[in-house]
């Protein structure tokens, strides 16, 4: 099988690519921030070896991986661990956009230093109607990863990247967002002199149990203090000489809350193409609510006897969320049943089947990868646990 041999050969080369960054004077290639996964234990027997190659191509950082973890895979969600080869392209010189932009409601928003994609801080419609906080809902493994279409992270745990950080050291880079800005671990220098190591904190507050509609269960409330991050979970902090970057945090949104820069169009296109192939061309992951068309909103407003503008507003603006499509929250904002809104808009695919019980078929937690500290201290699950 020549194709497979090539993949294995590439795994061997990964370390080489990482060790020799293709740097230019102005654009140092951050390839050495990534792991060499070629000699890692891998996901376990019967799974493909993890593959990760990193290089800089012109003004882009290119991360090529197969989304297989470098540590033992412990199944939490019903989806199998599958190999998904992708090239992720990000700007090498990220710039702040005029306005932050929303993360994809589902699908990758960045890539970790081991080649595993990052998803935003909400899950799909599990439990239905959906978009709850998957960490609150306890459907993550001990590295805050799990499978859907592919293995992905909703939070980042330093020790899962073989990082043995001393208490007086700042966290290294753990990931990059699609906008090219790096995501550091939670700890960093208070000032340029590094007089003290501080834990950077999310400024989002939890309003209620985020079992569903995480984007409405949390609200961004700006806070005083250099350790508090912006809406996107980043800052232009003194810890990195004023250069903008994100931090992974112990609480929601855990990694990023939005894009402060401009996400690479390539990164999104890549994932759409991959997913549509696996879905027989439907073009989006299941549960990623399609945005209604103007026509749909018009018809639905007439059906529901509400102002078209009110419906459009409710679909866009509910609570503190940044933007993902969230019909359940919109229905709440309008004071109507989610079911009525779904039906009026013709998005019946989102309706829970009669008598459906929410939650994935979790299999409980296994031994899994190392877990010494660093686990997000987010809200502990209190609500109904996913089906065991």
Whichever of 235 and 332 has its CB closer to Zn ion, that residue is 235
Q: What is the DSSP letter of 246?
A: E
Whichever of 115 and 292 has its CB closer to Zn ion, that residue is 115
Minimum Å gap between C-beta 361 and Zn ion is 15
Interface residues for Zn ion in 113-172 (CB under 5 A)?
A: 123
Whichever of 38 and 203 has its CB closer to Zn ion, that residue is 203
Minimum Å gap between C-beta 234 and Zn ion is 8
Minimum Å gap between C-beta 249 and Zn ion is 11
Minimum Å gap between C-beta 53 and Zn ion is 25
Instruction: Return d(Cα 251, Cα 210) in angstroms, integer.
Output: 12
Half-sphere exposure of 364 (CA within 13 A, CB side): 3
Alpha helices in the chain (DSSP H): 2-19, 214-217, 265-278, 294-304, 308-316, 327-334, 338-345
Instruction: Return d(Cα 188, Cα 247) in angstroms, integer.
Output: 9
Minimum Å gap between C-beta 211 and Zn ion is 15
Whichever of 197 and 351 has its CB closer to Zn ion, that residue is 197
**Residue with nearest beta carbon to Zn ion:** 237
Whichever of 50 and 130 has its CB closer to Zn ion, that residue is 130
In the set 121, 145, 186, 237, which binds Zn ion (CB under 5 A)?
A: 237
Minimum Å gap between C-beta 239 and Zn ion is 4
Whichever of 123 and 133 has its CB closer to Zn ion, that residue is 123
Q: Which stretch binds Zn ion (CB under 5 A): 35-43, 64-72, 232-240, 344-352?
A: 232-240
Q: Which two tokens stand for residue 186?
A: 């939670």
Question: Could you tell me how many residues of this chain bind Zn ion (CB under 5 A)?
Answer: 4
Q: Which stretch binds Zn ion (CB under 5 A): 49-57, 155-163, 238-246, 292-300?
A: 238-246
In the set 53, 239, 288, 289, which binds Zn ion (CB under 5 A)?
A: 239
Whichever of 94 and 188 has its CB closer to Zn ion, that residue is 188
State the residue for tokens 């208490």.
Answer: 167
Query: In degrees rounded to 5, what are phi and psi of residue 83?
Result: -80, 135
State the residue for tokens 């646990």.
Answer: 385
Q: 143 — alpha (psi -120 to 50), left (phi > 0) or beta?
A: alpha
Minimum Å gap between C-beta 189 and Zn ion is 8
230 touches Zn ion (CB under 5 A): no
Interface residues for Zn ion in 170-189 (CB under 5 A)?
A: 188
Pairing verdict, β 86-91 and 60-65: antiparallel
Instruction: Return d(Cα 54, Cα 31) in angstroms, integer.
Output: 6
Q: Which two tokens stand for residue 387?
A: 């089906």
Whichever of 183 and 334 has its CB closer to Zn ion, that residue is 183
Q: Measuring CA to CA, how many Å separate 376 from each of 240, 246, 379?
A: 23, 16, 9
Which residues have C-beta within 8 Å of that of residue 354, sequence separation ≥ 6? none
Residue numbers at the binding site for Zn ion (CB under 5 A) = 123, 188, 237, 239
């Amino acid at each position: 099988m020549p194709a497979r041999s090539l993949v294995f050969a590439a795994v061997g080369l990964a370390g080489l690519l990482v060790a020799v960054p293709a740097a230019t004077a102005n654009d140092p290639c951050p390839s050495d921030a990534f792991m060499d996964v070629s000699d890692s234990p891998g996901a376990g027997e019967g799974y493909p070896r993890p593959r990760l190659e990193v290089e800089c191509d012109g003004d882009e950082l290119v991360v090529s991986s197969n989304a297989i973890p470098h540590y033992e895979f412990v199944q939490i969600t019903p989806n199998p661990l599958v190999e998904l080869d992708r090239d992720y392209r990000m700007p090498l010189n990220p710039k702040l956009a005029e306005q932050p932009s929303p993360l994809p409601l589902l699908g990758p928003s960045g890539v970790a230093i081991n080649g595993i994609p990052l998803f935003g801080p909400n899950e799909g419609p599990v439990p239905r109607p959906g978009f709850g906080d998957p960490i609150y809902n306890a459907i993550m493994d001990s590295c805050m990863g799990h499978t859907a279409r592919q293995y992905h992270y909703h939070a980042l745990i330093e020790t899962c990247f073989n990082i043995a950080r001393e208490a007086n050291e700042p966290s290294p880079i753990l990931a990059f967002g699609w906008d090219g800005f790096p995501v550091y671990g939670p700890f960093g220098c208070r000032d340029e002199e590094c007089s003290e190591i501080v834990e950077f904190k999310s400024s989002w507050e939890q309003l209620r149990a985020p079992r569903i509609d995480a984007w409405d269960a949390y609200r961004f409330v700006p806070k005083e203090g250099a350790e508090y991050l912006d809406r996107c979970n980043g800052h232009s902090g003194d810890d990195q000489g004023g250069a903008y970057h994100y931090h992974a945090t112990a609480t929601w949104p855990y990694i990023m809350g939005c894009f402060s820069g401009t996400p690479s169009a390539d990164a999104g296109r890549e994932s759409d193409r991959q997913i549509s192939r696996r879905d027989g061309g439907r073009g989006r992951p299941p549960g990623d609510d399609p945005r209604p068309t103007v026509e749909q909103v018009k018809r639905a407003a007439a059906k529901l006897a509400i102002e078209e503008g009110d419906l459009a507003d409710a679909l866009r603006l509910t609570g503190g969320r940044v933007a993902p499509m969230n019909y359940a929250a919109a229905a709440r904002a309008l004071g109507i049943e989610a079911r009525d809104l779904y039906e009026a808009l013709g998005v019946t695919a989102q309706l829970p089947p009669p008598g459906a019980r929410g939650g994935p078929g979790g299999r409980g937690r296994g031994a899994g990868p190392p877990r010494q500290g660093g686990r997000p201290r987010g809200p502990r699950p209190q609500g109904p646990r996913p089906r065991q």
